[in-house]
Structure 1
Amino acid sequence: MQTRNKTLYMMSFVLAAACSRTSPDTSAPEPVVEPTPAATAPAERNTSDDEIFGVLDVINDEAVAHGEFMKKWAKTQKVKEFAAMMINDHDFVRERELKVRGALDLRATSSRLASDLKQDSQQKLDTMGKIDKGDTLDKAYIDIQIDVHAGWLAALDNKLLPYAQTDELRDELEEVRKIVESHYNLAIDMRTKLTGETK
């Protein structure tokens, strides 16, 4: 009888152990890490207000960087003055945008557009660094300003203004556009003058 009881006891123990291995797992599942929207969104997605401020930061930073370079290396006084104007105007715009952004409680975040504009602008700055100082560099700088300002105007019209979510940001973008267009027109006029002077 004792042997039989011991056998029953062992069988019940084995069955209990087997059941514990096959019973459903009721513990909390491991969290699944979802990909961030930035990792899966298409390259040409609509730009949010945070991303728009990121693009504006790039425009201001790159305009100032080009201006600082030419303020140091320009040959003609007209080009030096143009470079100084670029620095002053975009420093002013940057300060104003910081106030607008703070009032809206927004940040400046990166985006494909901001990265593309920054890369293009920095490549052009690198190109200027390889050009001999003098008339050739002065003309190259003005040509580059015409090119980058045309790109900034296209970005403002097609990728920033249509997607601004707040009236305050939309108003700021309109003001930035006026300044960028003014610089673009001045650069075209400057190129005509420089070309005439070197003929």
Structure 2
Amino acid sequence: MQPRNKTLYMLSFVFAAACSRTSPDTSSPEPVVEPSPAATAPAHRNTADDEIFGVLDVINDEAIAHGEYMKKWAKTQKVKEFAAMMINDHEFVRERAKKVRDALDLRATSSRLASDIQQDSRQKLDTMGKIEKGDELDKAYIDIQVDVHATWLSALDNKMIPFAQTDELRDELEEVRKIVESHYNLALDMRTNLKTEKK
């Protein structure tokens, strides 16, 4: 009988140990950050963040396209420098946004907002192409930059930042907004200066 009792004792000990491993943990849990739905979205499904990245790509591409045109055709050195700054700044933003997007395993997808911004920007670039090179083109370019930057700021404030689903994208958009606002304010100053110089 003694060996049998010893066996039963050992089995009950093993069973108790197993139960202790599977019983709920009553200690204080570690904080868990739930992943955003956008950050874990499957590749075949678009998310709000995918579309926002698409808009961001369009803004950068169009800013660079306008800058490239005026870097070649601007008359005044100040306008050439502004165009060069637009190219450099938006190439930097484009690369940084791509790193954030890749880290989140997201894509840049099309949307109505992206299409509208692209269409408006390309119409303005076509308009610049029809203006005689010189003072009038310089003035038109700066006027257009005031206009498009106001549009981009509105898009960032009302249609992009409030709807970003990941903190990483929201932080990136806030940084982009600072750059776009600085370009907008500089374009406003340049427009005033060009009008004064023309008089």
Report the TM range for the smaller structure's normalisation: 0.7 to 0.9
Gaps of 5+ in 2: 1-46
TM-score by length of 2: 0.76
1:71 offset after TM fit, Å? 0.2
| Corresponding position of 1:17 | none
Mark the structure with the bigger radius of gyration. Answer: 1
Q: What's 2:74 paired with?
A: 74
State the distance in 2 between where 1:66 and 1:86 align. 8
Q: Distance in 2 between matches of 1:145 and 1:59?
A: 12
For the residues of structure 2 that align with 1:142 and 1:124, how far apart are their CA atoms? 11
Deviations 1:59-85 (A, max 9, x none): 000000000000000000000000000
CA displacement at 1:125 relative to structure 2: 0.1
Equivalent-residue separation in structure 1 for 2:194 and 2:48 (angstroms): 40
Shift of 1:122: 0.1
SS of the equivalent of 1:106 reads coil
Deviation at 1:101, TM superposition (A): 0.3
The AA in structure 2 aligned to 1:165 is Q
- Runs (4+) of structure 1 moved beyond 3 Å? none
**Separation of aligned partners in 1, 2:195 and 2:79:** 13
CA-based RMSD: 0.6
**Corresponding residue number in structure 1 for 2:142:** 142
* Mapping for residues 156-195 of structure 1, pairs under 5 Å: 156-195=156-195
Per the normalisation by structure 1, the TM-score is: 0.76
Are residue 120 (structure 1) and residue 120 (structure 2) matched?
A: yes
1:127 CA displacement:
0.1
Q: Which residue of 1 aligns with 2:12?
A: none
Unmatched tracts of structure 1, length 5 or more:
1-46
Distance of 2:159 and 2:97 partners within structure 1: 18
| 1:13-55 deviations in Å (ceiling 9; x for gaps) | xxxxxxxxxxxxxxxxxxxxxxxxxxxxxxxxxx700000000
Alignment correspondent of 1:88: 88
User: Residue by residue, what CA displacement relative to the aligned partner does 1:73-109 show, whole Å, maximum 9, x if unpaired?
Assistant: 0000000000000000000000000100000000000
Give SS of 2:133's match: coil
